Amino acid sequence: MELEELKLTPKRKEICERLELRDSSDILSYYPYKYEEFSPVHYDDFRIGAQVCFAGELVSYPSTFRKGRLATTRFKVLYEEEVLTITIFNRPWIRNLEANQTITIIGRYDGANKVTASNYYTNDVLGEIIPSYPSKEGISQNEIKKLIAYTMAKCEGELEDELPEDLKQSHGLIDYKTAIENIHKPKNKKLLTKAMSRLKYEEFLRFYLALNILKGNTTDKIKEAKRFSDQDIQNFVSSLGFTLTEDQQTAVDDILKDLRSEKIMYRLVQGEVGSGKTAVSMIGLYANCLAGYQGALMAPTEILAKQHYESLRKQFEPFGVNVGLLYSNVENDRNIKKALQDGEIDVIVGTHALFSEDVEFKNLGLVIADEQHRFGVRQRQALKSKGHNADFIMMSATPIPRTLASSIYGDMDISTIATMPEGRKGCKTYLIRQNSIVSILDQIKAKLDEGRQIYIIAAAISRNESYKAKDVEGLYESLKDVLKPFRTELLHGRLSNEQKDAIMHDFENNEIQVLISTTVVEVGVNVKNATMMIIYDADKFGLSQLHQLRGRVQRSAYEGTCYLLTDAQDEEILKRLNILCKTNDGFEIAYEDLKMRGPGDILGTRQSGLPAFILGNLLEDTKFIDAARKDAQMIAENTGNEEYGNYYENISKLTAKNYLG
C-alpha cells in the first residue's frame, strides 16, 4: 500500500520520509534491532551500583535543568512504600507525564533512594518483551510503534501469505501475518523466535530468487571468444612502469581467460583502497580493444570519471587506443556520441550519462563498473544491453571474505586483490572524543608547514537543525582564517561542474592546501601529497565508508594520518570506531561492519539491485541461507507448479519494479 493510501498525518509522513519508508511494506519491515524483557527487582534487593527494574507511581512532576547540551530531568516515584528520586539524562520530553500514573524504570541504584534511569516506559511493562527500533533524533520509540500499529491495522486484510505451503510445512514456518504481529509485539519468546525464523528465511529466499531473475541466464549465454596476442598484452603491462603484485597478476589472468572464453564474463574484482584495481581494469580494456571491441568504464562521480579518463588516455595513447569521456553537460557531447557510434572511440569513460538512450556503440564488448554498489542493476543492465553479449566486470573497494561474497553474489566469479603495491606506508588513525580540532590544531599546522595537504570531511553541506552534524559551509567560515596563510576551499555536490573542476585542479596542484569536503572525495580522488584527513561526526559513517575515506591519504610513500572526531558517548559507537584505530585491513573492517551494522549497509544491496537483509545475518544464519538457496533454485526450475509459479512471478514483479525500472 502506498503512503498516500495509508492517509497518514503530516507528522507520520515526516517520520516515514526521515526513516526512508516508502510504503506499507517498508513500514511493516522496519523491524526492532533489539528486545528487552524486564523482571522486577524488589526494593529490599536493591544494591548500590546494580541494575534495578520496577514499576511505580509518579508522585512528583518532572523538572528539567539544562547545562550546555546536557538536559537533566528529576522526579519522584513511589515503589513498595518507598519514595525514590529518579534522575534521567537527555529526555526532556519526560516532563509531559501525569501525576499518579504508573511508570516503569530501568536503571542503576545509587543508594539513598536515588536511581539513575537508563530507560523508562509510561506503563507497567514488567514481564513483557519490549522492542526497540533504530531511530533518528527527534523521533521517539512511541511514535515509531504507533506508526507500525496504525499501518498494521490499515493493512490487516492485505497481509496475505504468498509463501508456498509445502515450504512452510517442510521448514516448520508460521504464517506471514502471525510473524509480522509477533516481530513487532511478541506475545512470548517462543512466538518471537518463530517470527524471526519465518522472516529471515523469506528474506534469503527472496534474495536468491531476485538474484536468479536479475542474472537471467546471463552467465549461461554464449558469446564469441575474444582473440588477442599474449605478447601484445605483455608489451602493454611493461609500459605501466611498475610490476604487478601477485594478486593483481592473478586477477589479470582471470579476466584474460574470461575474455577468451565463449561464456560471458560476470566477474567481481574486489580489493583494498589503493590495491591497484584500476591497473587490472586497464589491461582488461586493452585486451578487449585488441580483439576489436569497444570498452566502457562507469564511474559513480564526475571527479572519478575524469581521473580515470586522464589515467587511461595517458596509458593508452602510445598504443593507438582512443579514449573518450562522457558525463552530463560535457562539451561536444554530440560529437562524442557520434564518434562512439561510428567506432572512432575505443574506450569510453563516463558517469550515469552512459546509460542515456541516445548513447550507442558500434561494438561494445566489455563493461566495467567501478564502485559497483553505487549503480543500480537497472543502470548496469541499461549499459550492458548496448552491447551484444558484452562481458561484465564489477569493481569494489569494499572487500568482504570470499565465502560471504559467494553467498551474496551466487555463482559470480570473484577475483580478490588483498596485497598492496610496494612502497605504500599505510595510515595511522586516531579517535578524538570531541567534535572539534582544538586538541589537534598543532598537528594540523605542523603537517601544513611540512608542505603536505589536508582533507577535512563533514557529513552535511549546510546547517540543518534536524540533522545535528557539522557542515562544510560552517567549517569553511570558521577555519579559513584559523589556518592562514594556507589556502582553504570547500567542495560539495551542489557546486557546478566548473567549480568542482577548478577546485580539484587547484588541490591536485597544491594551490589549495586544505580541502573541506563532503564524501564526494570518498572514491577515486588521488592526490598523493595529501597525507592527513580529519573526519567530523565520525559516528555518522559506517566503518567501511570511513576506511574508504582515509584511503585518500595513503596513496603514496608518505604515511597518512586520520583523525576521527566525535562527541558520541555510546560505548558501542566508540568500540566500533576504535576498530579503525587498530587495523588497516579492509577485509577485517568490512567483517566487523557486517557484524555490527548488517549487510544492507556494507554491500549497498539496495543500490546494487538486490533486496537488503534486515533480519538475516550472513555470518550467523547459514542454516537459513543454505535452505533458501536450494529452495530458490527449486522454485525457479518448477514455475509450472501453480504455487511456485505465482511466487516466482510476484518476486519478478517486485524485482522489476525496484531495480529494473
Structural domain boundaries of the chain?
39-127, 219-417, 427-583
Q: CA-based angle 54:57:60, to the nearest 5?
A: 120
| Largest separation between any pair of C-alpha atoms in the chain | 91
Q: Sign of dihedral through CA atoms 328, 330, 334, 338?
A: negative
SS3 325: strand
Residue 659 pLDDT: 47
Residue 531 pLDDT: 94
Ranking 250-259, 334-343, 597-606 by mean pLDDT, the lowest is 597-606
Check if 219-417 and 427-583 are the same fold.
yes
DSSP string, 390-442: -EEEEEESS---HHHHHHHHTT-EEEEE-SPPTT---EEEEEESSSSSGGGHH
pLDDT of 658 higher than 60:
no
Confidence band of 217 (pLDDT split at 50, 70, 90) = very low
Domain 219-417: homologous superfamily in CATH:
P-loop containing nucleotide triphosphate hydrolases (3.40.50.300)
pLDDT of 164 higher than 80:
yes
Q: By C-alpha distance, which of 287, 280, 335, 341 is closest to 311?
A: 280
pLDDT tens profile 246-281 = 999 999 999 999 999 998 888 889 887 677 888 999
pLDDT of 182 higher than 90:
yes
pTM: 0.62
Provide the CATH topology of domain 39-127: OB fold (Dihydrolipoamide Acetyltransferase, E2P) (2.40.50)
Confidence band of 445 (pLDDT split at 50, 70, 90) = very high
**Whole-angstrom distance, CA of residue 496 vs CA of residue 206:** 41
Residue 122 pLDDT: 84
555 against 278, higher pLDDT = 278
Residue 653 pLDDT: 79
Provide the CATH topology of domain 427-583: Rossmann fold (3.40.50)
Residue 400 pLDDT: 66
pLDDT tens profile 388-400 = 788 889 888 766 6
Confidence band of 378 (pLDDT split at 50, 70, 90) = low
